[in-house]
Amino acid sequence: MEAFRRLLPVPGTDGLTAAELAEAVPGSVPDGRPFVLLNMIATADGRATIAGRTAPIANRADYELFHALRARVDAVMVGAETIRVEGYGPMPQLAVVVTRSCDLPVDRGLFAAEGNRVVVVTPSRDRELPPCAAQVSYLREGDMAAALRRLGEEHGVRAIDCEGGPGLNATLVPAGLVDELHLVIAPKLAGGRDPLTILRGDGLDPPLDLVLLSLHEAGGYLFARYGAGLR
């Protein structure tokens, strides 16, 4: 089990476990929708993936905090492309998959795990997935603010851990639908042309200011928690 050393707001030598660090989540629940945490990792030069995957960036501490944050929420939200690439698997929380096309793999990963409960958020009025092992329902909504509100009303969701990808992030952040950003900064330089960052698409004008709530370190990785400026 990894220990997280506090750097900010007050430096401390006593290490926290991932579960203790995750206790800050969720923050205050906004009126009319669930609390939304955006949980991402990037290299020191800003890459969100290496060879298309996040695994080459992560370390053991990130893995532990990743699962500790999931344990603090009612639902895990993810975009279609992330499901296609990362697959996922058994999940005790409600899984929320955002997709325009409903073109998703049902023979492996998230949809192939019996017992998984998945809500597919899509603007499509008629597309559906083939039969699969997971229990699937549909929230046919093209507006993410309305979709979040309905997740609260219809599924009892009070807090969501959004794990990207960058396309979904670029929909939520400019719309003011993210309450906190938990960003892991890996001590790696990857380089490459046109790297994928944690936000894809048009630039934010003006750039969005973040407020640093806390900063911890484990294994040379930095674990930053930002908030307030996202609202």
Cβ pair 203, 189 in contact under 8 A: no
- CA separation for the pair 13, 85 (Å, rounded): 38
Model confidence pLDDT, tens digit, residues 113-162: 999 999 999 999 999 999 999 999 999 999 999 999 999 999 999 999 99
Per-residue pLDDT at 12 exceeds 80: no
Which pLDDT does position 229 carry in this prediction?
57
Per-residue pLDDT at 230 exceeds 80: no
Give, for 19, the enclosing helix (H) or strand (E): helix 18-22
Cβ pair 166, 98 in contact under 8 A: no
Record the tokens describing residue 36, joined without a space: 């939304």
Positive or negative, the Cα torsion across 152, 149, 204, 164?
positive
Model confidence pLDDT, tens digit, residues 204-216: 888 899 999 999 9
Reported as half-sphere exposure (CB side, CA atoms, 13 A), residue 97 has a value of 32
Q: What is the mean pLDDT of the chain?
A: 93
Which residue segments constitute the domains of the chain, with CATH numbers given? 33-190+212-227 (3.40.430.10)
- CA separation for the pair 68, 83 (Å, rounded): 20
Instruction: Give 179's contacts (C-beta < 8 A, 6+ positions apart).
Output: 26, 27, 30, 35, 36, 37, 227, 230, 231
